[in-house]
Amino acid sequence: MAVIRDVMPAFDLLQPESAAEAQKLLEQYGDEAWVMAGGLDSFDWLKDRIKKPKVLVDLSGVSELKGVRVTSDGVEIGAMTTLTEIANHPAIQKDYGVLSQAVALVASPQIRNQGTLGGNVSQDVRCWYYRGGWPCYRAGGNICYADTPVGRNREHAIFGANRCVAVHPSDSVPALIVLDAKFVVQTAKGEQIVDAEDYFVGPEDDITRINMLQPGDLLTAIRIPATWAGAKFYFEKVRDRNVWDFPLMNVASAIKLNGNTIQDIRIAVNAVSPRPMRLRAVEDAVRHNSAAVVLDDTGGAGLAEIAGGIAVVGAVPLQFNGYKIPLMRNLVKRAIVGPLESRTGDAIAVTTAGREAVCRS
C-alpha cells in the first residue's frame, strides 16, 4: 500500500498548562484527540498520515508532569520525565538501578533526551504492516499479514497471540513490573491507580488498544514503592544492532536474599507477547531456594536451568521466530544467575547480537 509522506494532516494544536486542563481537553474531544508527549511515536503516525486526529493535546508545557520526586515510600516519576533524566537520576540509580539500566538502553541519546516515560510505556506496537497502514486486525480489518506463511514475523510474538501477533516494544516496562510500579491515570471519573502489569491490554481483550487508556484518559505519573529498593537487579536487552534498535527481547529481574536463600524474586520479559509478561511460574519455582541450588547448573540440572525451561512452556513460534524460544530460556536463566553471581545489587547490561545471545547460556 502506498503511503504518502508529504506533510502531516492538519490538526488543532492545544497546549494546556496543567494536568487537569489537559485531561479536560481530552475528555472534551474524546477519540478525536491525540496525546502528544515527546512526539517520537506520535510524529511517525502523523507524518505517515495513518492517524489523523482532529486535535493534538501537547503535554510539553505541563510542568507538573515532569521530574522525579523522592517520596516517603519510594519515587514518583512524572509521565513527561525524559528517559535521560530517569537514567541519570541519583535516587533511581541507587535504589532502583534496574530502571535506570533499562531506560539507558532505549534507542539513542537523542531519542532518550526527547522521549518520555509516559510515552515509552504507552507507545504502540512496531509491526511494519500495521504501521505501514495495512488494514490488519489491529487496524480494524480482518486479517493478520504477519501471521501468514510468508509474513515477516521474525520480531513477533511467541506467546499471547490472538489474531494479532505483534509484541509490546518497550524496554522500560519489564523494569517497572519487577519494581512493582503503579501507574496513575486521570480519567473523567477521577484518579485510577493500577499495577504496572494491568496497564497493558492484550488483543483478546481489545485488539485496537495496547493499554487501558480510553479516550479522555491521561497517564500522569508512575510510582515506584520502596518494596524492592536496593534488591539485586538484572536487565538485559537483546537487539540486532548495538546502535539504536528496539528489543528482540529483554528481561528484568529483582531478587531479595535472606542470607543465601532467595526470599523473593520478580522477573518479567518483553517483546515476546502483545503484553509484557511477568513470569510467575518461574518466580514460584525459584523462590525460597538457596542460591547454591539455583546456581548448580552442572549437567544442566540446576534450578536456574529448569526455570529457563519453565519460562518457555506454552510458547508457540511463528514461521521465522523460532529462535525466540532458546533466547528466552537463556535470558531467563541469566536473569536469575546474574544477580546472584555479581552480588553487587547493580543492574547488569549485556547487549548482545541476537544470534550470540541465543547460543550463549
Ligand X SMILES: Cc1cc2nc3c(=O)[nH]c(=O)nc-3n(C[C@H](O)[C@H](O)[C@H](O)COP(=O)(O)OP(=O)(O)OC[C@H]3O[C@@H](n4cnc5c(N)ncnc54)[C@H](O)[C@@H]3O)c2cc1C
158 binds ligand SF4 (CB under 6 A): no
Q: Give CA–CA dist 85/104, Å, rounded.
A: 10
User: Is 38 among the residues that bind ligand X (CB under 6 A)?
Assistant: yes
Contact range with ligand SF4 by CB under 6 A, out of 5-13, 67-75, 127-135, 218-226: 127-135
C-alpha cell at 156: 513477533
Compute the distance between CA of residue 51 and CA of residue 53 in angstroms, rounded to an integer: 6
User: In the window 221-260, what residues touch ligand X (CB under 6 A)?
Assistant: 244-246
Indicate the SS3 state at residue 178. Answer: helix
Asked whether 16 and 57 are in contact (CB, 8 A), the reply is yes
User: Cell digits for 216?
Assistant: 479522555
* DSSP 3-state of 292: helix
Q: Is the dihedral of CA 34, 40, 41, 45 positive or negative?
A: positive
Closest Cα to residue 61, out of 37, 85, 26, 25? 37
Does the footprint of ligand X cover residue 119 (CB under 6 A)?
A: yes
Which of residues 115 and 338 has its CB atom nearest to ligand X in the complex? 115
Residues within window 61-90 making contact with ligand X, judged by CB under 6 A: 79
DSSP letters for 1-28? -----SSPPP-EEE--SSHHHHHHHHHH
Q: Which does 166 bind (CB under 5 to 8 A by kind): ligand X, ligand SF4, none?
A: ligand SF4
Q: Does 144 bind ligand SF4 (CB under 6 A)?
A: yes
Question: With binding defined as CB under 6 A, does residue 37 bind ligand X?
Answer: yes
Q: Single out the segment in contact with ligand X by CB under 6 A; choices: 31-39, 86-94, 155-163, 349-357.
A: 31-39
Residue 136's binding partner among ligand SF4, ligand X, none (Cβ under 5 to 8 angstroms by kind) is ligand SF4
In this structure, are strands 12-14 and 55-58 parallel, antiparallel, or unpaired?
Answer: parallel
Give the footprint of ligand X on residues 134-173 (CB under 6 A). Answer: 169-171
Residues forming the site for ligand SF4 (CB under 6 A): 125, 127, 129-130, 136-138, 144-147, 163-166
Residues forming contacts to ligand X in the complex (CB under 6 A) are 34-42, 59, 79, 106-107, 111, 115-116, 118-120, 122-124, 169-171, 213, 218-219, 244-246
